[in-house]
């Protein structure tokens, strides 16, 4: 975790050095402001030739096109910085687009080939040519392909859009391709949109190592207030390539074909305040083996999937997954297997008969043939292996308590569609699925499950071609629970794009208030990840009551006072030495406090519950031991 804290400090220092130092500004004209194709190429090359690249900021104009006539290369040891004024909430304030010429004589393997460092701010990268044809040419961090290893590379992206990126033919990677041994990436307020590929085998990605090529590595990568919508994958670790520190905070994941976070080789990972909706649309087919989830953790040394050497053990890992929700639309579950119902406990995986009317043709065929385990099924928020890491405890004889087997791997405040169903439906105001692409998306999924035919399923790609701003989708939402489920009572997911009137007129402004306390939130996450202890842990205590009265049964008394503010006492009795848990839950059944969880001897006890940091409302407290479960209600008044 020390490396993660150092990364945050270095990122701040880098930001200061890159954005605050005095640099010369070169204004570059686009297609609609008197420029011509290749204007940006020529400006960058002139700075390289003049030895001024690292001391130059290339400033683009809002609502303009910058058509490239060749790959822009950033020499080793130098920094390319491309910026524009901040985008607003009107069409004229749209970010400038960087895209390709339509010329077929130009080699289009990479958009920008970075051997040094790259800074982009307020830029819209559209991975297509001026006629709207997808190109699949990533921004590649290429330092280690030169044979010069050991030098860190930095990519800093703020308020950027990465759109319409398929799986690139040259590297089979993502919008950002990492061919570096020490990549450091910072993505702040970025939107990866419609990174889709019509080919059934390939999927557009946000950030990825090249497919099936070992030898690369990421030191640190951070995503904050980013949206990943209509994607193949989001973040990918390939072959033996992984990252030391991975950070997601306030991100929205919507309509992801397969891996949102892949692979499970995490050393230090935190995912906080995030919203996952349709985050693994392909599901899994039981006959092919059950694996993968929104967050999965692969055991170090797993001979099948983690057999390469790493400088850490399972006990060294720091993983934090909190304040996040996972939801799947009913249409998607219906299309997979006819709904959530599982009414045949003696026949595993058998779907409800309504699959014949709402399921995809492939699943219907498998159902009629009674090949139930060949039908795709929704993947869970956490798979069984992840649960082992998050939840395993053992009895420590020295302390007489149950303690966590992996004290630095923690989860809390998670909202899972598997148990909560439509209670976690965010109800997006304008989702990225509508009449324009739902049928094509369903067709793509069906063909992937069945015959593997190509199909395009992008949502309104013409909006990007027309440089429409703001985008037609609105991923703010109506679910009041999710709007207060984040740390500090903020909404889950990306606040910059969807809860920010500066870039979307009429939006409820949660972003400004969040930004004012962002440093405190980041420090809280870093502390929790490092120590394994929630800095906001509610101060509770449990004490044994005096006296020799031996209880004859488990009892749980009504708290007193009730209603209360801010503390109340809960008395309970334990008739035999046993493992006892006393926990507090909100009205959705999410655990919000553990008053006791361990071995207790015979006796009568009183627990003090402090609700200072909770919102007023109705909560429930539950005593569990030896197969006995007792629940009562308490009311916190604020």
540-560 confidence digits (pLDDT tens): 778 888 877 889 999 999 999
Tell me what the mean pLDDT of segment 212-218 comes to: 90
State how far the Cα of 204 lies from the Cα of 223, in Å rounded to an integer. Answer: 18
Res 291 pLDDT > 70: no
Q: Answer yes or no: are the C-beta atoms of 39 and 32 closer than 8 Å.
A: no
Res 191 pLDDT > 50: yes
The pLDDT value given to residue 559: 96
The pLDDT value given to residue 2: 44
Res 9 pLDDT > 70: no
Tell me what the mean pLDDT of segment 245-256 comes to: 97
Contacting residues for 507 by C-beta, under 8 A, at least 6 apart? 476, 498, 499, 500, 501
- Average confidence score pLDDT of the chain: 91
Q: How far is CA 7 from CA 157, 245, 247, 557, in A?
A: 16, 8, 11, 49
State how far the Cα of 527 lies from the Cα of 308, in Å rounded to an integer. Answer: 30
Phi, psi of 444 (to 5 degrees): -60, -50
pLDDT bin (cut points 50, 70, 90) of residue 19 is: very low
The pLDDT value given to residue 539: 65
Taking the model in full, what pTM does it have? 0.87
State how far the Cα of 622 lies from the Cα of 602, in Å rounded to an integer. Answer: 18
Contacting residues for 383 by C-beta, under 8 A, at least 6 apart? 290, 291, 292, 293, 296
Angle subtended at Cα 71 by Cα 67 and Cα 76, rounded to the nearest 5 degrees:
135
The pLDDT value given to residue 596: 87
Q: Answer yes or no: are the C-beta atoms of 167 and 195 closer than 8 Å.
A: no
422-458 pLDDT tens trace: 999 999 999 998 777 899 999 999 998 998 778 888 9
pLDDT bin (cut points 50, 70, 90) of residue 306 is: confident
Percentage of residues in the chain having pLDDT higher than 70: 93
In the DSSP assignment, the letter for residue 33 is T
Res 15 pLDDT > 80: no
150-180 pLDDT tens trace: 689 999 999 999 999 999 989 989 999 999 9
Residue of 364, 353, 348, 368 whose CA lies nearest to 449: 364
State how far the Cα of 419 lies from the Cα of 116, in Å rounded to an integer. Answer: 48
Percentage of residues in the chain having pLDDT higher than 90: 72
State how far the Cα of 109 lies from the Cα of 92, in Å rounded to an integer. Answer: 31
The pLDDT value given to residue 202: 63
Res 42 pLDDT > 60: yes
Res 294 pLDDT > 90: no
Q: Answer yes or no: are the C-beta atoms of 537 and 528 closer than 8 Å.
A: no
pLDDT bin (cut points 50, 70, 90) of residue 578 is: confident
State how far the Cα of 429 lies from the Cα of 240, in Å rounded to an integer. Answer: 41
Res 198 pLDDT > 90: no
325-339 pLDDT tens trace: 999 999 999 999 999
State how far the Cα of 401 lies from the Cα of 6, in Å rounded to an integer. Answer: 34
| 520: three-class secondary structure by DSSP | helix
Res 61 pLDDT > 90: yes
Which CATH number does 541-636 carry? 2.60.40.1930
Beta strands in 370-505 (DSSP E): 393-396, 401-404, 409-416, 428-430, 474-477
pLDDT bin (cut points 50, 70, 90) of residue 4 is: very low
Tell me what the mean pLDDT of segment 373-400 comes to: 88
Tell me what the mean pLDDT of segment 24-40 comes to: 97
Tell me what the mean pLDDT of segment 360-365 comes to: 97
């Amino acid at each position: 975790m020390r490396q993660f804290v150092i990364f945050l400090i270095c990122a701040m220092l880098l930001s200061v050095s890159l954005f605050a130092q005095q640099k010369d500004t070169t204004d570059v004209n686009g297609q609609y402001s008197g420029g011509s194709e290749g204007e940006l190429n020529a400006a960058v090359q002139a700075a390289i030739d003049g030895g001024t690249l690292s001391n130059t900021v290339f400033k683009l104009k809002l609502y303009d096109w910058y058509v490239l006539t060749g790959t822009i290369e950033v020499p080793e040891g130098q920094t390319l910085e491309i910026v524009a004024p901040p985008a607003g909430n009107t069409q004229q304030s749209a970010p400038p687009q960087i895209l390709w010429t339509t010329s077929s004589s130009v080699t289009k393997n990479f958009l920008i080939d970075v051997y040094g460092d790259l800074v982009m701010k307020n830029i819209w990268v559209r991975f297509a040519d001026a006629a709207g044809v997808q190109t699949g040419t990533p921004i590649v961090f290429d330092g280690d392909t030169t044979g010069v290893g050991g030098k860190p590379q930095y990519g800093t992206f703020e308020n950027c859009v990465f759109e319409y990126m398929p799986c690139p033919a040259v590297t089979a990677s993502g919008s950002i391709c990492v061919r570096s041994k020490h990549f450091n990436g910072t993505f702040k307020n970025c939107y990866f949109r419609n990174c889709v590929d019509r080919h059934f085998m390939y999927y557009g990605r946000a950030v990825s190592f090249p497919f099936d090529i070992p030898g690369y590595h990421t030191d640190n990568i951070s995503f904050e207030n980013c949206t990943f919508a209509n994607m193949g994958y989001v973040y990918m670790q390939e072959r033996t390539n992984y990252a030391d520190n991975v950070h997601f905070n306030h991100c929205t994941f919507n309509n992801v074909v397969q891996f949102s976070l892949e692979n499970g080789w995490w050393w230090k990972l935190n995912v906080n305040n995030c919203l996952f909706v349709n985050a693994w649309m392909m599901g899994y087919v039981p006959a092919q083996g059950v694996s993968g989830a929104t967050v999965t953790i692969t055991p170090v040394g797993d001979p099948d999937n983690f057999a390469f050497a790493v400088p850490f053990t399972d006990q060294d890992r720091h993983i934090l997954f909190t304040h996040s929700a996972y939801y799947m639309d009913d249409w998607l579950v219906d299309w997979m297997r006819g709904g959530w119902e599982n009414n045949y406990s003696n026949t595993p995986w058998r779907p409800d008969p309504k699959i014949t009317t709402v399921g995809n043709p492939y699943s219907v065929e498998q159902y009629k043939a009674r090949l139930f385990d060949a039908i795709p099924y929704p993947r869970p928020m956490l798979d069984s292996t992840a649960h082992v890491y998050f939840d395993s405890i053992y009895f420590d004889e020295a302390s007489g308590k149950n303690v966590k087997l992996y004290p630095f791997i923690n989860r809390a405040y998670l909202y899972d569609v598997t148990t909560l169903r439509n209670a976690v439906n965010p109800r997006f105001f304008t989702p990225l699925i509508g009449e324009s692409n739902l049928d094509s998306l369903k067709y793509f999924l069906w063909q992937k499950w069945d015959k593997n035919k190509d199909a395009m399923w992008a949502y309104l790609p013409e909006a990007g071609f027309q440089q429409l701003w703001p985008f037609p989708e609105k991923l703010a939402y109506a679910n009041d629970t999710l709007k207060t489920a984040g740390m500090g009572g903020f909404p889950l997911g990306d606040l910059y794009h969807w809860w920010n009137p500066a870039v979307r007129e009429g939006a409820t402004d949660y972003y400004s208030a969040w930004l004012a306390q962002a440093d405190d939130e980041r420090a809280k996450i870093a502390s929790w990840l490092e120590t394994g202890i929630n800095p906001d842990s509610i101060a509770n205590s449990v004490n044994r009551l005096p006296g020799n009265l031996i209880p004859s049964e488990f009892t749980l008394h009504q708290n007193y006072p009730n209603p209360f503010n801010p503390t109340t006492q809960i008395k309970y009795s334990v008739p035999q030495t046993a493992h006892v848990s006393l926990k507090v839950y909100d009205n959705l059944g999410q655990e919000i406090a553990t008053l006791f969880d361990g071995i207790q001897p015979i006796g009568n006890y009183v627990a003090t519950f402090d609700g200072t940091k909770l919102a007023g409302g109705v909560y429930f407290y539950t005593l569990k031991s030896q197969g006995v479960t007792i629940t009562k209600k308490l009311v916190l008044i604020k």
